[in-house]
A and B are shown apart, each in its own frame.
Chain A
Amino acid sequence: MSSVWLPCGDYHQNYAEDQGWWQTNFLKGKMILLLAVVFIGIPLFVDEYWISVGTMIGYTAMGALGVQLLIGYAGLLTLGHAAFIAVGAYTSVMLILQFPWPQFLLDWGLAYPISVFIAGIVAGLWSVLFGLPSAKVKGFYLILTTMAAQFITVDFILTQYISQIGGRGQAFSLPPGTIKIGPWVIENDTQVYFVMAVVLTLMVIVLANLLRSKPGRAWVAIRDNDIAAEALGINIVWYKLLAFFVAGFMAGIAGAFWVCNTAALSPEHFQWFLSLWLVGVILIGGVGSIQGAIFGSIFMVVVMELLQTGAIPLAEYYPKILVDFAYIKDMAFGLAICAFLIYEPNGLAYRWWQAKNYFNLWPFSY
C-alpha cells in the first residue's frame, strides 16, 4: 500500500512506483519548499540564538535517527547510543589534533571531512562490538548490554584513558580555525548550522533509501518477529549487526559534527543522560518513522528552550529556579516521556499523519 494519498484515478502499477520518492508533484514541491526553508529561509530570517537552537535540534535528530533505526525499525532496544556518539566525537578530535596530516590535506581543508568519515567507521565498528550479544539476547537483556557499552566506553575508557592522551586534561579544545571544510573555515553559528543541515539531509536520504531496500525490509521483518524472519531466510545475525553498524556510523558522524559546534569536548557531554534523552526523543516523536525522530527532536529541544525562557522572568522571585534549572529540565523530560507513553503512545508523527489525513479531504470529508 502506498504511504501517501494519491489523487483520484492515479494508480501505481508496480512496487518501484509504490516506493517512489516523488509520487506526486505536490509532494515534490512540498519537499523542495522544506529544503528551501531549511537552507535559505531559516538562516536569512532567524536570529543567531534560534539558529543555534536549530543546530541543537539537528544534532539531536542525527543521534535520534540512529536510535530510531535500532529501536523503531530493527527492534533492537538500545540505551547506550551516547557511547557511539562519544566515540565518533573523540575519534574526530584525536585525528585532528594528533594525526600528522600532510600539509596539502590541511591546505585543501580535507582533514576534518576525512576525520568525520573515519569517526563514523570507528563508531560503527565499536557499535558492532557491543551489538554482538544481540545474536543471542534481545529485549531487556539487550538494554543491559548497551548500558554496559555506555558505562564502559564513556565512564571508563574515554574518561580515564583517552582524555589523558596529549596531556590536555579532561577537556579537549580545538584551536580556532582548525575545522575547515574545503575552503570554508567553520567558525560562527550560521556556518555550523549549514554543516548540520547538509549532514542531516544526507543522513535522512541515506536512511530512507536503506529502509526501502533489502536491508530495511529485513530489519522490519526482524522487528516484527525475528523467528519468522529467520524462517523466511533472513540472516538475522548479519542484519542485526548491520543495523548496529549503520546506527553506530550515524552516531559517529553526529559526534564528529558536534566537534565543530563545541569549544571543548569532554566526557560530560556524553553521559547516560544523552542516551536516555535520545530514546525519549523518538518515543515522543513516534517509534518507527523517520519523521518521528525529527519531530521529537524539534519538540524536545524547543520545549526545553521555552522552559528556560519562561524560567528567566520567574527567577526574579525564585532565584533557585535558574540555579537549579538542570533539575527542572530532568523533571520536565521525565514527565514528558511518561505523559506521551500513557496518553499518546504513537507519538507526534501519528498526530501529523492524522492532521494530514484530515486536511486531505477537507472541507468535504464525506
Chain B
Amino acid sequence: MELFFMSLTTGIMVGGIYALVALGWVLIYKCSGVLNLAMGELTLVGAYVTYTFYTIGVPFVPAVLLTLLVGIILGFLTERIFLDKLIGEPILAVIMVTVGISFFLKGLIGYIWGSDTRVFTPPVFDIKPITVGLLKISPVYLWSFILSIILLIVFVAFFKYTRWGLSMQATADDETAALSLGVSARFVYASAWAIAFMSAGVGGALLGNINGINISVGHLGLLVLPAVVLGGLNSVPGAIVGGIMIGLLQNFSGTYLDQYFPGGVKEIVPFAFMAVFLLFKPYGLWGWERIERV
C-alpha cells in the first residue's frame, strides 16, 4: 500500500511538470495551428540554460527567472526565423520544420554542453525526504510540483485576463476576425512560441533537478505528446489533466509492470497507451471534433 501511495504522489508531482510543458504545446497549437515536435529540445534548452546560470553562481529561483527571459528571446527568434514564412503551408511542412528546429537545437546543445550528465551542484533541493503521515516525498518533487502549479496558474491567468492573452484567444478562435479587430497575428504567434519556450524551459529545469541533465530530459519532454493527445490538442484543462495522467501512468507502470516486463517499460507505456487510446477516442478527452467534408 505504501508503494501505491508513493507512486501516486510521485506520479502527480512529475505529472505537474509534464502539464506545464504540455500547456506550452497546446498554446502554440491553439494560436497558430503548429504541431510542435521540438518540445523535447525546448525542455533541454531550458534545463541547460538554468544549469549554466546556476553554475556561474546565480541562485536557483533567479536562474529560473533568467531562463524565462532567455526563453522569451529564443521563442521570438524561432518564430521569426523559421515559422513566420510557413503560415498556411501543409501540415507536414510545418511539422517537419519543427523537427528541423529540434535537430538544430539538439546538435547545438550537444556541441556546447557535451553528452555527459550534468548535475546541479550543490543540490538545489534537500535530499532527505519529507514524511507526511504514510507518505515519503522527496523535496525535489514537492517543490517542482509547487513551482509548476504556480506557473500554470500564472500562464492560465495570463491567457484569460490580460490583453495579450485575450488577443491570443481571439486569434486562436478566428484569425481573420482577430486581424480585423487590430490584433497582430504575427505578434501573437511569436508570443505563443515565447510562452512555449518558457514553460518548457522551467519544466526542463525542474526535470533536470530530479535525475540530472542529459539528452534523456529531451525524451521526457517528448512525453507531452501523449499528454496532449489524451487531453485533446486544443484544450488547456486537457493539457493539465493529460500531463498528470501521463505522470501517474508512467509511475504506476514503473512500479507494477516492471517486474513482468523488465527494462524501460516506464518510457514506453505512455506511447503504447496513446496508440491504443487514439483508436477509441481520436480527439482526446476535450478536443474539438473536426467534421470533414469533401
Measured as residues with beta carbon below 8 angstroms from the partner, the interface class of chain B is 35 or more
Known: A231-B294, A328-B111. A160 touches B103 (CB 8 A): no
Contact, CB under 8 Å: B275 / A144: yes
A287 within 8 A of B: yes
A156 within 8 A of B: yes
Instruction: Tell me the smallest distance from the CB of B93 to a CB of chain A, in Å.
Output: 5
Known: A133-B275, A334-B107. A144 touches B99 (CB 8 A): no
In the docked arrangement, what's the CA distance between A122 and B263, Å? 25
18 sampled A-B residue pairs with Cβ under 8 A = A77-B91, A77-B95, A133-B275, A133-B278, A137-B282, A145-B275, A152-B268, A155-B268, A160-B261, A160-B262, A320-B111, A324-B111, A327-B110, A331-B108, A334-B100, A335-B104, A341-B100, A342-B97
Main secondary structure of the interface of B (DSSP, over half): helix
A residues 150-205 in Cβ contact with B at 8 Å: 151-152, 155-156, 159-160
Known: A144-B274, A148-B272, A227-B294. A329 touches B107 (CB 8 A): yes
Contact, CB under 8 Å: A342 / B86: yes
Contact, CB under 8 Å: B108 / A152: no
A333 within 8 A of B: yes
**Residues of B contacting A283 with CB < 8 Å?**
92-93, 96
**Residues of A contacting B99 with CB < 8 Å?**
79, 276, 279-280, 334, 337
A residues 48-83 in Cβ contact with B at 8 Å: 71, 77, 79
A residues 122-148 in Cβ contact with B at 8 Å: 130, 132-133, 136-137, 139-141, 143-145, 147-148
A338 within 8 A of B: yes
- Nearest neighbor of B90 in chain A, beta-carbon distance: A345
Instruction: Tell me the smallest distance from the CB of A68 to a CB of chain B, in Å.
Output: 12
Contact, CB under 8 Å: A151 / B271: yes
B175 within 8 A of A: no
Contact, CB under 8 Å: A279 / B96: yes
Select B279's contact among A133, A149, A287, A329, beta carbons within 8 Å: A133
A32 within 8 A of B: no
Given contacts A137-B278, A139-B91, 11 further A-B contacts (CB under 8 A): A143-B95, A148-B274, A152-B271, A155-B264, A156-B267, A280-B96, A326-B110, A328-B111, A332-B107, A334-B100, A342-B82
**Residues of B contacting A305 with CB < 8 Å?**
none
Known: A139-B91, A140-B91, A144-B229. A156 touches B265 (CB 8 A): yes
Known: A140-B35, A225-B294, A331-B103. A147 touches B96 (CB 8 A): no
A320-359 Cβ-contact flags toward B at 8 Å (1 or 0): 1000101111111111111001100100000000000000
B106 within 8 A of A: yes
Instruction: Tell me the smallest distance from the CB of B80 to a CB of chain A, in Å.
Output: 12
A262-281 Cβ-contact flags toward B at 8 Å (1 or 0): 00000000000000100110
In the docked arrangement, what's the CA distance between A168 and B231, Å? 43
Contact, CB under 8 Å: A148 / B275: yes
Contact, CB under 8 Å: B86 / A341: yes
- Nearest neighbor of B290 in chain A, beta-carbon distance: A139
Contact, CB under 8 Å: A144 / B278: yes
B293 within 8 A of A: yes
Select B267's contact among A79, A141, A155, beta carbons within 8 Å: A155
Known: A71-B92, A144-B229, A227-B294. A327 touches B275 (CB 8 A): no
B residues 242-294 in Cβ contact with A at 8 Å: 261-265, 267-268, 271-272, 274-275, 278-279, 282, 292-294
In the docked arrangement, what's the CA distance between A271 and B74, Å? 28
Main secondary structure of the interface of A (DSSP, over half): helix
B217-246 Cβ-contact flags toward A at 8 Å (1 or 0): 000000001100100010000000000000
**Residues of B contacting A144 with CB < 8 Å?**
225-226, 229, 274-275, 278
B23 within 8 A of A: no
**Residues of B contacting A320 with CB < 8 Å?**
111
**Residues of A contacting B86 with CB < 8 Å?**
341-342
Instruction: Tell me the smallest distance from the CB of A356 to a CB of chain B, in Å.
Output: 25
Contact, CB under 8 Å: A338 / B91: no
Contact, CB under 8 Å: A156 / B268: yes
A228 within 8 A of B: yes
**Residues of A contacting B111 with CB < 8 Å?**
320, 324, 327-328, 331
In the docked arrangement, what's the CA distance between A320 and B112, Å? 10
B126 within 8 A of A: no
B residues 187-239 in Cβ contact with A at 8 Å: 225-226, 229, 233
Contact, CB under 8 Å: B89 / A345: yes
Instruction: Tell me the smallest distance from the CB of A144 to a CB of chain B, in Å.
Output: 6
Q: Choose among B265, B272, B293 the residue with the greatest number of A CB atoms under 10 Å from its CB.
A: B272
In the docked arrangement, what's the CA distance between A133 and B293, Å? 21
- Nearest neighbor of A343 in chain B, beta-carbon distance: B85
- Nearest neighbor of A331 in chain B, beta-carbon distance: B107
- Nearest neighbor of B81 in chain A, beta-carbon distance: A338
B101 within 8 A of A: yes
Contact, CB under 8 Å: B101 / A130: no
Contact, CB under 8 Å: B275 / A341: no
Known: A324-B111, A337-B103. A140 touches B95 (CB 8 A): yes
Contact, CB under 8 Å: A345 / B93: yes
